[in-house]
């Protein structure tokens, strides 16, 4: 009975026929060969195949008239590090890259970035100053918050920049801001006006300009890496020149220029310093000399105190076995007597500075105690630099008289505080007292004979 029922059902469905497609076994809602119709105005219609054919033909016509523009190949007008990370030469993907290219502004090659997240077109102030471009007042001055973390920058000037990339030439109105990443940054206003289309795979930007389709091609990661290497070499060369100038300035002290003058003075001083055997031995990198030799008074260490603001240093003779109470006594006698109570004290983790007496004493006086990190001298780098300078001065003055180093400490302290420092461009004496004390060089009689 069941077989007869199934056969009767099959014979019934086989008689079903859909008259439009002339297919059997289904009705209109189950037809597998349905056709989609696209209706347009003025009683015209076309099928999907015709629509796709017409759209593809239009695209072919547009592609025939489009023009791809590539970045310029010349060096940038101003060299600066643009990106911190350098991509490998093998990675040519544009997946994590912004659109970065180069354009010409008044025959000068400049860097250009197109950023979707920028709400305005920006131009670097260095570019405007370098090319002497004419600025105009901003019609609606605003404040950009994303430039820095110090409350933003007020934008009140604009400039029309003529840019050209290949055969594409245009003039863009940009806000003048201090940019570091690029010379020109085009944001949403430029993309909106040009109705740009981004290709997410190749990172190309296409738009229509003067009846032609323009396709801007980005720089590849390898080209960006190559540019970074060139800029790094130029930057290192500039740093060497600056270091040389700082060294020349250090070799010719300010007090020497004020007291003496003769032709080619700087060259003579540099030549004398380069041939001085004592200076070369003192500044050479040799094996550490070891601990201080105990003197006849029993001093075997130096307590170094440095002022953070004026960089004035005090060198106090002491003993290694001195306890915290004695260190506090000499600190009040040599430092607090001259400068008053400090607000903070940065010290190493010696047992004297970790004792209960030392902590309670400065807690009662309202001074905050800070400690440097073990095996990390950069946490108190200023004191480390002073210690190195002190050891160099001791090697120069002592020579073979190692047991008389305690007698040289007052002279070393005066010499260190009298020298001009490169961080403040003045001596610590001038920072604290407002003038430099008289030196033995000032007591020399001046010659009355004309030079």
Q: Are 224 and 101 contacting, i.e. CB atoms less than 8 angstroms apart?
A: no
Q: Which uninterrupted H or E stretch holds 318?
A: strand 313-318
Q: Highest mean pLDDT: which of 25-34, 273-282, 305-314, 392-401?
A: 305-314
Q: What pLDDT, in 10s, does the model give residues 75-105?
A: 666 544 334 444 444 456 777 778 888 889 9
Range of the domain at 173: 95-219
353 and 298 both lie in a single domain: yes
SS3 350: coil
Same domain, 395 and 374: yes
Q: Is residue 349 part of a domain?
A: yes
Whether residue 390 is predicted with pLDDT greater than 70 in this model: the reply is: yes
Are 179 and 271 in a shared domain? Answer: no
Report whether 306 contacts 383 (CB < 8 A).
yes
Pairwise pLDDT comparison (297 vs 289), residue with the higher score = 297
**What local confidence, expressed as pLDDT, does residue 82 receive?**
39
Q: Is the pLDDT assigned to residue 397 strictly greater than 50? A: yes
Q: Are residues 407 and 375 in the same domain?
A: yes
Same domain, 197 and 304: no
Sign of CA dihedral 140, 145, 148, 151: positive
State pTM to two decimals: 0.42
CB atoms within 10 A of CB 342: 17
Domain membership flag for residue 207: yes
Cα three-residue angle 234-237-242, rounded to 5 degrees: 125
CA gap 114, 191 in Å, rounded: 9
Both 295 and 273 in a single domain? Answer: no
Q: Could you tell me if residue 242 is inside a domain?
A: no
Mean pLDDT score of the chain = 75
Tokens of 260: 């003496």
Neighbours of 101 (CB within 10 A): 21
Neighbour count for residue 445 (Cβ, 10 Å): 5
pLDDT tier for residue 160 given thresholds of 50, 70 and 90: very high
Same domain, 378 and 273: no
Instruction: Let me know whether 412 and 324 are in one domain.
Output: yes
Please say whether the beta carbons of 206 and 216 come within 8 A.
yes
Please report, rounded to a whole number, the percentage of residues in the chain having pLDDT higher than 70.
66
pLDDT band at residue 319 using 50, 70 and 90 as cut-offs: confident
Same domain, yes or no, for 435 and 401? yes
Domain with residue 133: its CATH number is: 2.40.70.10
Any domain includes 273: yes
Rounded CA separation 58/13 (Å): 47
Which stretch of 22-31, 32-41, 101-110, 369-378 has the lowest confidence by average pLDDT?
32-41
The CATH number assigned to the domain holding 316 equals 3.30.420.10
Mark whether 107 and 188 lie in a shared domain: yes
- Would residue 87 count as lying in a domain? no
DSSP H helical ranges for 70-138: 125-131
Residue 53 has what pLDDT?
43
Q: Are 212 and 305 within one domain?
A: no
Residue 233 lies in a domain: no
Instruction: Report how many domains make up the chain.
Output: 3
Per-residue pLDDT band at 173 (split at 50, 70, 90): very high
Residues 277 and 296 in one domain: no
Picking from 283, 304, 335, the residue at the C-terminal end of a domain is: 283
Tokens of 246: 């700082």
pLDDT at 9: 46
- The reply to whether 68 falls in a domain is no
Single residue among 260, 283, 306 that ends a domain in this structure? 283
Ranges 62-76, 93-107, 261-275, 336-350, most confident: 336-350
Asked, for residue 41, whether it belongs to a domain, the answer is: no
Q: How far apart are CA 444 and CA 446, in angstroms?
A: 6
């Amino acid at each position: 009975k069941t077989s007869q029922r199934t056969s009767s059902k099959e014979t019934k469905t086989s008689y079903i026929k859909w008259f439009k497609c002339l297919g059997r076994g289904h009705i209109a809602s189950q037809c597998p060969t349905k056709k989609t119709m696209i209706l347009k105005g003025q009683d015209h219609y076309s099928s999907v195949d015709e629509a796709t054919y017409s759209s593809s033909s239009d695209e072919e016509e547009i592609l025939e008239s489009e023009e791809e523009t590539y970045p310029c190949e010349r060096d940038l007008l101003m060299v600066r590090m643009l990106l911190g990370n350098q991509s490998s030469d093998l990675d040519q993907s544009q997946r994590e890259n912004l659109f970065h290219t180069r354009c010409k502004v008044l025959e000068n090659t400049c860097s250009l970035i197109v950023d979707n997240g920028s709400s305005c077109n920006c131009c670097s102030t260095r570019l405007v100053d370098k090319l002497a471009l004419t600025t105009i007042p901003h019609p609606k001055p605003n404040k950009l918050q994303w430039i820095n973390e110090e409350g933003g920058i007020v934008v009140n000037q604009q400039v029309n920049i003529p840019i050209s990339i290949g055969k594409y030439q245009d003039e863009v109105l940009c806000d003048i801001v201090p940019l570091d990443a690029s010379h020109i940054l085009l944001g949403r206003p430029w993309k909106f006006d040009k109705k740009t289309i981004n290709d997410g795979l190749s990172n190309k930007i296409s738009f229509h300009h003067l009846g032609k389709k323009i396709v801007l091609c980005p720089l590849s990661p390898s080209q960006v890496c190559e540019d970074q290497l060139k800029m790094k070499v130029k930057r290192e060369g500039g740093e060497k020149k600056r270091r040389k100038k700082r060294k020349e300035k250090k070799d010719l002290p300010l007090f020497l220029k004020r007291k003496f003058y003769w032709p080619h003075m700087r060259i003579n001083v540099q030549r004398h310093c380069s041939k001085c055997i004592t200076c070369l031995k003192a500044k050479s990198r040799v094996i550490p000399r070891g601990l201080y030799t105990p003197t006849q008074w029993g001093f075997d260490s130096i307590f170094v105190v440095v002022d953070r603001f004026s960089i004035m240093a005090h060198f106090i003779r002491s003993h290694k076995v001195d306890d915290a109470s004695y260190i506090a006594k000499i600190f009040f006698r040599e430092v607090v007597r001259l400068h008053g109570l400090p607000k903070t004290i940065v010290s190493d983790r010696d047992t004297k500075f970790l004792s209960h007496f030392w902590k309670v004493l400065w807690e009662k006086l309202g001074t905050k105690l800070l400690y440097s990190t073990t095996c990390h001298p950069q946490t108190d780098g200023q004191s480390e630099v002073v210690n190195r300078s002190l050891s160099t001065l001791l090697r120069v003055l002592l020579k073979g008289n190692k047991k008389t180093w305690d007698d040289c400490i007052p002279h070393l302290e005066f010499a260190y505080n009298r020298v001009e420092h490169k961080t403040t461009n003045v001596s610590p004496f001038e920072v604290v007292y407002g003038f430099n004390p008289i030196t033995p060089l000032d007591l020399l009689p001046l010659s009355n004979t004309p030079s």
